[in-house]
Structure 1
Amino acid sequence: MFRKYSFILMLSILAMPAFSANSEKSSAYSKGVKILLQFHTMYGVNEPFLSHNPSVDSDPTVRGILGDYQPWQIAKSVDGKLFSNGKLIINIKGLIFNNPPPANNDNDEDHFRALVSCQTASDGAASPFSTFITGPFPVHKPIGKGNANIKAQINHLPNPCLAPVVMILNGDHNEGDVWFAVTGN
């Protein structure tokens, strides 16, 4: 009988670090870190959001950003989360061109960037949309498949961050910012 209780006591002592680690994780959430946006779909730029090449003043924008002049699609999947502390995680599989057959739809970008846009309030009034763009993230090889993992920290994300939108942009800001995909469907 003593062995049985000794064994249970030993198991309880060994399990304490696991409960302690879980309480640390939950305390991070109790400190206010929440998921602001979780998404599993994105809309690839297409008509009527395509811009001209070169762009013209009448080209449509989403949150002030031009769409690419070629259509894009998420051929496989996308999963992403934006946290209230500015952490952004996006896993993309198959961000490629969306041209009719027999065209080659391989992605030609070697890097992507992410954009986060949201509205906030300051001094009791609604503010214009704030926009934050990450640095470039490499597209996995082979590049043509359009797979990438974006893990970024958006500094100074406003609180509140209302109506957040996430876009995938071209990788080189020197070419001008154009979006390939945006949250929604």
Structure 2
Amino acid sequence: MYSGPKATGGAGEIRDVKAGNNGNVYALGRFSSPLVTLGQTVLTNEGTSNGYVANIDTNGNYQWVEKLGGSGHAEYHLCADNLNNALYTAGYYNNIRLGTQTFDATPLDNVFMARFSMDALSAPKFQTSGLKVYPNPARELLNISIVDNSGYQINDSMGRIVAKGNIELGTINISQLQPGFYYLNINGASTKFIKE
């Protein structure tokens, strides 16, 4: 009987799978839908197709997920170096974001390589700090742990855009939203929240 990780809310494919020394599995995939949920992590597509690298433990639980974002196209491949506890992804792109760095080769393509830590207890070294919102659930205002004037987008559970704008005074007014689950997207980072 199969018992493994589950992805919901998105169309995509797994491109490569590698095994680590600790029994964990590392998967590289890509998705073309507006959103994809991998365990507790929600990723937002910034272009036609974005990718991800995920660490999946022996019970099928996602330990971390790192997005390979960007507004253009990219092609990815995965290689595991178990001797040095390293994981590499490489490929070509015309616009790609790795962590907080964006690389643009438009209109031509260029090549890239990124190295990840394979420590099962930590996230990849270049992973940015998580987007934090509070209170969650919220009724009227959602407080954000990010600088003001950043643009945001809120999607419903079907991926439809229901609100967008700029963060003011560290808050977003969500009073106009119907009660339910939503995804907040800021600069390529996403998190779930509940509107009461």
Same fold (TM over 0.5): no
Structure (1 or 2) with the greater helix fraction: 1
Indicate the structure (1 or 2) with the bigger Cα radius of gyration: 1
Higher strand share: 2
Structure of higher RCO (CA pairs closer than 8 Å, 6+ residues apart): 1
